[in-house]
Structure 1
Amino acid sequence: MSELRERTATPVCHVVTHVHWDREWYRPFESYRARLVELVEQVCRQLDSGSLEAFHLDGQTITVRDVGDLRPDLVDEVRRHVRAGRLTIGPWHVLADNQLVSGENLVRNLLAARRHGAEIGDLTGIGYSPDAFGHPADLPRILQGFGIGTALVWRGAPPELAEFRWRSPDGSEVHAVSQRYHEAEVLWTPEGRDGRLAAFLAGEAERRPAGPWLLMNGGDHLAPRDTTGVLAEVASAVGSRVELPQSSLEAFFAAVRDSRPAPSVVDGELRRLGGPGSFLLPGTLSARVHLKQENARAERLLERIVEPLLALEQLTPATPSAAPVPDATPLDGSSVGHLRHAWELVLENAPHDSICGCSVDEVHRENSVRTDRVVQLADQLVRRALLRRGFDTRVHGAPATEAARVVVFVPPAAAGREVPVEVEVVVAPDRAVVRANAPDGTEVPIEVEDLGVRRSFEADLDLLPDSVVARVQRLRFVATGVAPGGLAVYDLRLGAFDDAGSATAAAPAGIDEEVDLGDGLQARIAADGSFSVTDAAGIRHDGLARLVDGGDRGDTYNYDPPADDRIVTAVAGDVRVRRTPVRTVVSWTATLDLPLRLDEGRDARTAESVATPVAVELAHWHGRPGLEWSARFVNSALDHRLRVHSRVRGTPSAWTSGQHFSNLARPFGPELGPLPDAANREAEIGTHPAHGYVVAGEGDRALALLLDHVSEVQGLEARPDGDAELAVTMLRSVGWLSRFDLRTRTTGAGPELPAPEAQLLRPIEARLGFLLGSDALDAFALADAADARRAGAIALQLREGTPVSAPAVGSAIEVEGAIVSALKPAEDGNGVILRVANPSPAARDAAITIAPGIDARPVRLDESPAPGELVDSSVAATGSRRVSLRLAPHATVSLRLEVAR
């Protein structure tokens, strides 16, 4: 192609005929799939007839899987055209909203595409992701980890650049091309076609005068026209001024890189406002917030619990002395299919119209059901993995009367040796837990919450169903000395229920009364429902977790405040303090008098209101840094946004948030930029996605918030009457998929369809961790604390009479100085993959201790061998191998671990 350009000096416009296929959006999945089958059948017929020379079947292999479920014969046709080079597909399994899912989710997405693509043919080597609502800073790193050195992007890309070298914080780069707004209409109909094509080519010539140019001939859910015939018809209109070959993305990128191999560099995330129609749609970060919470729960279960358990099972042979459970079903089958199915369900929820919450209500009901299925499967995988290790968690038979046991699994990601644990235990109706002992026999402080008497039920393949009356109690304690990746059994002693003291009375406290939380921390609850904390150094941090509610006349895509808004803050009351050997908990009610809805003109909120009590808790686990805050209420109001504001003292200019494998600083700014007055434009709304944590402030005034899920966060600049604040969106309640009358976006972003369930008239819950002062300053320690908090620990009661070979089982690996991002079975079944990360801007020394008899080799994110060998390792007297690593800023390192033959 470059030789042709040099010989003719004629610009080349590559015409890539394609479809963008939203799996579910303004119609539910099955409605779309029926049309997808029709489209694929038509495309195959056109490729055979020559009316199409080439076609790009979007960037996702799941389209072929969906078609194959109904028409396996069409998969054969797709395979034939892919292998002939006429049809391209991939590189993703689904086109995810890559901001709202975890980094490991994106890696699993590309791994799943490779697996599905192997049955079809080669996948495209282009990082195709044009329609996501912005792009994260770590995407070039992830693409390069799969050998993909290019990216086709659109939303969020710098509008002034047609192409650029896009660089991740770790230095990974891809050659990115910014697609213009969807050009589906350019060649669509004969009427006015020549004029539309001329205007398009003129626009491309302005962006890249010498070419090559790219015309993406297609759009959302559109079957292709006779491209061969159409291009023959327009040949006379363009004459010899431009070549218009039917082409592919690979051919276009090859020409681009040949023509200009070193464009300018763009660092970090792509979240810039673009030209007309190039919307970021930032309201999707918080629309239907429960979807984000559900997704985080599913990711956490698979990434932090299930995969590590299955991986460590491969690396840790069964203890020979472990006595088998006499009546247990043999459990020798592989769990590979189960794990892949669970990830398939998670990935099905990842597309930008699914996890973003911007589809019709039917779609999001199905999203929640998929997540429920993941949780169900994850629970079964965990229990079976423990059973294979000799830990039977099926509480069956007569409930315990004198003693019980719980097994605790601390994932490798849960750094440190002090991990909060919550577990439900079942005991006889007249008994209660009165004491707990660690594996070494030392007594452990416990908190017991009685949940009452009910029927306990258990059944399995080898257990007849039972249904016995029992008392259920929730036990809390801190597990110490359990190596991350290890298992430990805690012994519980039971006593008479009347003597247990399981119900700790809560003492009343007043507004602005000082409450001793322990460890030198003092808290006060303010009249507006916020709280303040004075730390052990005497520094007071006030204005934390203030609830602020305003109107929202927007849709699932964009926040849009009423012109005559009414801001509501809370009124606090009924403060109570409960102290146990494990925690001090302050609870209070923060009542919001919420306007019921927007008025008929949609420019103000109604005078009619509904009193909404919010149950707030602030907990400090004794001996551990930080605080845990939670708020729960039932939403009964419409058309509003509720955020949690926390004051940042001093004059901070920027706030930092965690990202997939790095962190990113963003400026404080106004709540809303200037409203657009031109058509097809969007206002600057300073909210951004945050992974894991956000932090701002300096020295002893620093404040960090630890997040349960990817959250919409904004750094609000200081005003004359107040300090800067970090605002985390707790709820956006809107009733429309899209509207055409917004002030923050001057056209629709989709069809104007009602979405009443997006009002979220349901129970709402938010949780935040708080770290203050020096605890929030170290970038790595902060990311590590946020990751360990997310990983948590799991604990399950053991079945009575189950023999346990050892009270504690160590881990085959131990990581120091790095975050364990993944510990998973390898895709090819050969060993496991360990991935460690340094998500901080400073280089770090890390070490991995590997049990004897395990080999380690570096691999890429795609699990193929990486260049180089492990160096700087030593073998201890125990036979363990210690590998030292120097991790560059924001670096990740992946290893394949295999038991030596």
Structure 2
Amino acid sequence: MSKKGRGIEKIHVVSQTHWDREWYQDFQGFRARLVYMIDELLDHMENDSEYKYYTMDGQTIVLDDYLEIRPENRGRLEALIRSGRIAIGPWYVMPDEFLVSGESLIRNLQKGMAQSREWGTEPMKSGFIVDIFGHNSQMPQILQGFGIDNAVLFRGFEGDADPSEIWWEGADGSRVLGLKLDEDRSYSDFYFSVRWPFFDRDDDYAGNREELIRRVQEWIAYKNKRSTTTIGIGMDGVDHVEIEPQLTWLLKTINAAEEIDVELVHSSLELYLEELRGKLGDLRVYKGEQKALALNGVNNWVPENTLSSRVHLKQHNQHCENLLEKWAEPLGVMASLEGRAYLKAFIDKAWEHLLQNHPHDSICGCSIDQVHRDMMYRFDQSRLISEQMIKEQALFIVDHLRAADLNGNQAFTVFNGSQFAVNGIATVELPLPAGEDAAVAMRALEGTSFRIFDHEHREVPYQLLGARTNSVSRFRPYRELPRADIVDRLRIALPVDLPAMGYSTFTLEKYTIENHAPLAYSAPKLIGPVRFPGSLQAGENCWNNGRVEVTVGASGMIDVTDLQCDHTYRGLLLIEDEADIGDGWSHIAPVGNAKFRSTGLAAVVAAEHDGPYQATIRIQLTLQLPRSINKQETSRSEELVDVPVVTYITLKKDDPVLYCRTEIMNTARDHRLKLLFPTGLAADHYYTSTPFDLVRRPISVADQSHYLRKPFEVVPHNGIVALHDQDKGIAVYTKGLHEAAVRDQAERTIALTLYRSTHKEVMTDGSDGGQLLGTLAFEYALGFFGADQPIEARLWREHQQFVTGLQTAHRKSGKLYKETPHSRAEDLPLRKSYLSLSGDGMIVSAFKLAADRNGYIVRLFNCGSDQQEAALTFASPLASAALVNLDEAHQETLPFNGNAVKLTAGPKQIITLRLVFDNG
């Protein structure tokens, strides 16, 4: 029975531990502690029936980690889970919300919920995201998509006595009930208020009853200032801390105290929510992204520079996500529709390795060196599995093309993993038998001795970009030992017209060059080398592809003219470098923070290659930067070191996007390096992409000097940073870079962080792991557009095509050696599309086998702020179509017409379809 009184009358005490799997200690060290903690938990819960509930930090991976060491305890653990005493899920791991893709967040929840059900229980239906470094704008919709109507929150709020109960509304309008933990002790308020003060003392709780009761009273008074109802929640636990065996005694003692008129009950999050929902009144609404600067709070801050810490981790992560989301899964569907089994277990394993790198202290790059070395192994395993599946799936199609259409010729098939058709210039590497082509054997002729034809046997012109001779090409025929061909690898650029989510095949017709015999001046020239002359170079340091013109200045900066908008952007690619004495969480500038810029440096400019379809410009600079910070950490050292920088800029014919790669030999320590893109646009806002959203941000922000920490200087993005005025705009697209800003200056400069070099590590003497010494490479692109129409669809399309790229698979002439046992009739067409979508505003996020193997999943999201209608068309006729939620549970049967289904999506809505094809 609840005690009577004003304000809170009852507090649900929820026992839990926040378990960072790896952080200031390596995984194996943390696991040893985890095993001891769960051992004690099992013993205690089995022997103290009044210690009723325990929450396993909202993630299931800790169960796997425990059982690898204690498999004999599975039955004991399962009994407590099935009886509802130990709550597990809904996450597999507790991720960062900005440094992973939206699809990764969904797969994380899918895996956590599936694992929970394997234990014979439903997962905890709570959006438990207590220690994540800010929250993205689409998390309410993602949680609702799994039937979760609430979120337990901490960081990302100002902390000015925020109410304990709020509504959090996502970008699409979805709402969840926010359990806003207090700004001081967050998910550890009961622990710090009641348990922690007595930890390091010789006497115990019983010997200090008066102090215990006083502290509980102060805690309740603090909570009363924030509560909107008569019940509250107390979090009994903290990072990596074991249970309190005396908790039952503590609760009895507190409840028996006449000085306290609030009842404390040992409870769970779901029991608390069940009681809370019936007591809610009008609540404050918080909309969209929650990443506010803290006004108050002991730990209430959002580390902003985890966006750029150990940036190589972010780059590897996005590469692995792209391989899975844009290639391994869609190609798996394509191949399975042609008769090859969808090898789901392999793809699931690749996801598992990848998801294990997504905990916030891991992917954020703010852990010790050993943790981040371990991550590289997992990235490698995920990548290698994906690459193997991609290769096998592509070759399954190529190996079963209609042989008569190839006419005995060597062929290559270009795959498009994007929902958008590609009509532009592709770069392809051709493995030709060593020494056979004129490009290698008869170099003086400056041509090749093969012609390329498309699927309708129309000749396709091409440009030779380069060659690598005498390379090993390994293959392993099924039932045979591995073999190898010695090949010359010729890189070419050619115009292609590729269908959406499909492929197109090209054949090579090789021939022998017949020329004049020596001194036989009157002999006819029968067949000469293939040459397609032309150039994109328009001046000594100027290149024009018909859509943009690039001029390289003496210091390596570029001016770009958007020929469609008749506007020139000047001084792009300026390099800026400053000191950094911070750590994995934060960039901190010393008092003496000398900033270096590439202005005035002498650049060496080379045309790496040039022709009618593609040109690549190489810009070489040598920065001279301070070797490190001084010993007092007050200024940068006087000693300078050379830091070579090489940037490659590729123009493709009629393409409004410039493709860039910057390579840096980093020999300097303790610094942050950025690329600057002065836009000169009269804009008051800009856009950055985050999972399933394009967030509009003001360039000018209110004064934040009175806040707890320094004002934010950067914002998160996952690949798009863009701004525009009334007529024109510019976008920076990136791979694996997440930290950017638009400066509130007349130039409206986009500042893109490439990397930070830091020495400090949490709870260690530091290491060189965070300095990122050695060669670093960064891929990004610049897009130029008119702003006379909605830009969201264009930005998403160009970014998706940039990060997806193309895949190529080859088929030799002559005898075909298949490398897997998968086979079907050799009757596939030379060109095919498996999925096409009308309406640019809908972006495909996933195309995969359903989790239960019953049909296929297509997930899309509306990238704009208006309702969108679209039609999906497939290569195969449909047997059924349905809307499902993110957990792939049925919601609504959809009508369809043959092989097409129509859908409508509200602003920024995520839609998931389950499709069953009629393959009969």
- TM-score normalized with structure 1 length: 0.89
Partner of 2:356: 348
Distance 1:421 1:38 in 2: 55
Query: Structure 2 CA distance, aligned partners of 1:583 and 1:195?
Result: 75
- Taking the TM superposition and a 5 Å limit, the aligned residue runs for 1:683-694 are 683-694=710-721
Aligned residue among 580, 601, 605 for 1:575: 605
Task: Give 1:715's match in structure 2, choosing from 696, 720, 742.
Answer: 742
Are the counterparts in 2 of residues 392 and 802 from structure 1 also a CA contact under 8 Å?
A: no
Structure 1 residue runs without a partner (length 5+) = 319-331, 394-399, 739-750
* 1:528-607 equivalence runs, <5 A: 528-536=555-563, 537-570=565-598, 571-577=601-607, 578-607=609-638
Q: Which residue of 1 aligns with 2:179?
A: 177
Q: What one-letter code is carried by the residue in structure 2 that aligns with 1:176?
A: G
CA distance in 1, matches of 2:790, 2:559: 19
Does the 8 A contact of 1:534 with 1:540 survive in 2? yes
Tell me which amino acid in the other structure corresponds to 1:483.
P
- Residue of structure 2 in register with 1:256 after alignment: 276
Name the stretch that deviates more: 244-253 or 824-833: 244-253
Task: Measure the CA separation in 2 of the matches of 1:466 and 1:666.
Answer: 56
Match of residue 326 from structure 2? 304
Q: How does 1:5-404 map to 2 (within 5 A)?
A: 11-50=9-48, 52-120=51-119, 121-159=121-159, 160-180=162-182, 181=185, 182-183=188-189, 184-188=191-195, 189=198, 190=205, 193-208=212-227, 210-226=229-245, 227-237=247-257, 239-274=259-294, 275-276=296-297, 277-314=299-336, 316-318=337-339, 335-389=343-397, 391=399, 404=410
**1:700 and 1:772 in contact (8 A); partners too:** no
- Call closer, same or farther: CA 1:351–1:704 in 2, change over 3 Å: same
Does residue 428 in structure 1 map to residue 428 in structure 2? Answer: no
Do the aligned partners of 1:692 and 1:787 also contact (CA within 8 Å) in 2? Answer: no
Give 1:261 shift: 4.6
CA contact (8 A) 1:551 1:605 kept: yes
| One-letter amino acid of the counterpart of residue 477, structure 1 | L
Maintained 8 Å contact 2:475/2:482: yes
Paired with 2:529 and 2:230, the residues of 1 have a C-alpha distance of: 79
Number of residue-to-residue matches in the alignment: 849
| Pair 548,527 (structure 1): closer, same or farther in 2 beyond 3 Å | farther
User: CA separation of 1:490/1:269 partners in 2, compared to 1, >3 Å: closer, same or farther?
Assistant: same
Aligned to 1:325: none
Is residue 766 of structure 1 aligned with residue 794 of structure 2?
Answer: no
Q: Distance in 2 between matches of 1:209 and 1:662?
A: 31
Residue 671 (structure 1) shift? 13
Give 1:523's match in structure 2, choosing from 543, 547, 550.
Answer: 550
1:479 aligns with 2:496: yes
CA contact (8 A) 2:580 2:670 kept: yes
Please give the secondary structure, in 2, of the residue aligned with 1:691. coil
- CA distance in 1: counterparts of 2:155 and 2:55, whole angstroms: 20
Structure 1 CA distance, aligned partners of 2:242 and 2:399? 55
Residue in 2 that maps onto 1:490: 506
Write the letter of the residue equivalent to 1:687: V
Q: 1:415 to 1:72 in 2, by over 3 A?
A: farther
Q: CA contact under 8 A between 1:641 and 1:729: conserved in structure 2? A: yes
Mean alpha-carbon deviation: is it higher for 257-266 or for 33-42? 257-266
Partner of 2:411 in structure 1? 405
Distance in 1 separating the partners of 2:248 and 2:91: 28
- Provide the secondary structure at the position in 2 that maps to 1:354: helix
SS at match of 1:76: helix
Q: Kindly tell me: are residues 463 and 426 of structure 1, through their superposed partners in 2, closer, same or farther at Cα, counting changes over 3 Å?
A: farther
Residue pair 1:637, 1:761 contacting (<8 A) in 2 also: yes
1:754 and 2:754 correspond: no
User: Structure 2: which 5+ runs fail to align?
Assistant: 199-204, 440-447, 516-527, 817-825
Tell whether the 8 Å contact from 2:502 to 2:833 is kept in structure 1 after alignment: yes
Q: C-alpha separation between the residues in 1 aligned to 2:473 and 2:362? A: 37
1:236 to partner: Cα distance? 4.6
Contact 1:423 1:796 in 2 (8 A): no
Q: Given that residues 672 and 683 in structure 1 are in contact (C-alpha distance below 8 angstroms), is that contact kept between their aligned partners in structure 2?
A: no
Give 1:240 shift: 4.0
- Helix, strand or coil: the match of 2:641? strand
**How far apart, in 2, do the equivalents of 1:508 and 1:769 lie?**
20
Matches within 5 A, 1:783-862: 783-801=796-814, 805-817=827-839, 818-850=842-874, 851-862=876-887
Could you tell me whether the CA contact under 8 Å between 1:541 and 1:701 is conserved in 2? no
Query: 1:47-101: CA deviations, max 9, x gaps?
Result: 1111622111111011111112222222322211111111111110110112111
* TM-score when normalising by structure 2: 0.87
How far off is 1:33 after superposition? Answer: 1.4
The 2-side partners of 1:384 and 1:149 are apart by: 41
The share of aligned pairs that are identical, in percent, is 26
Query: What's the offset of the Cα at 1:114?
Result: 2.0
TM-superposed deviation, 1:700: 3.5
2:915 matched to which residue of 1? 897
Contact kept in structure 2, 1:645 and 1:726, CA below 8 Å: yes
SS at match of 2:731: strand
1:696 to 683, 708, 723: 723
Q: Which residue of 2 aligns with 1:660?
A: 691
Higher mean Cα deviation, 253-262 or 351-360?
253-262
Aligned-partner SS, 2:314: helix
Structure 1 residue 351, shift from structure 2 partner: 0.4
Give the Cα–Cα distance (whole angstroms) in 1 for the partners of residues 738 and 421 of structure 2.
Answer: 23
Quick one: structure 1 residues 20 and 488, their matched pair in 2 at CA, closer, same or farther if it must change by over 3 Å? same
2:901 to 867, 876, 883: 883
Mark the CA change 1:483 to 1:455 in structure 2 (over 3 Å): closer, same or farther.
Answer: closer
Cα distance change on mapping 1:604 and 1:426 into 2, 3 Å: farther
- Structure 1 residue 773, shift from structure 2 partner: 3.4
User: Distance in 2 between the 1:82 and 1:19 partners?
Assistant: 16
Per-residue Cα deviation, 1:519-551 (whole angstroms, up to 9, x for no partner): 053222234432111122431111322211111
CA contact (8 A) 1:631 1:766 kept: yes
- Residues 638 and 672 (structure 1), Cα distance of their counterparts in 2 relative to 1, 3 Å cut: farther
Q: Alignment partner of 1:175: what SS?
A: strand
2:656 touches 2:785 (CA, 8 Å); kept in 1?
no
Change (3 A) 1:96 1:486: same
Q: Distance in 1 between matches of 2:477 and 2:37?
A: 45
- Partner amino acid, structure 1, of 2:171: P
For residue 781 of structure 1, what is the amino acid of its counterpart?
R
Contact 2:462 2:492 survives alignment (8 Å): no
Q: Pick closer, same or farther for the CA change 1:270–1:520 going to 2, 3 Å.
A: closer
Contact kept? 1:60, 1:113, Cα under 8 Å: yes
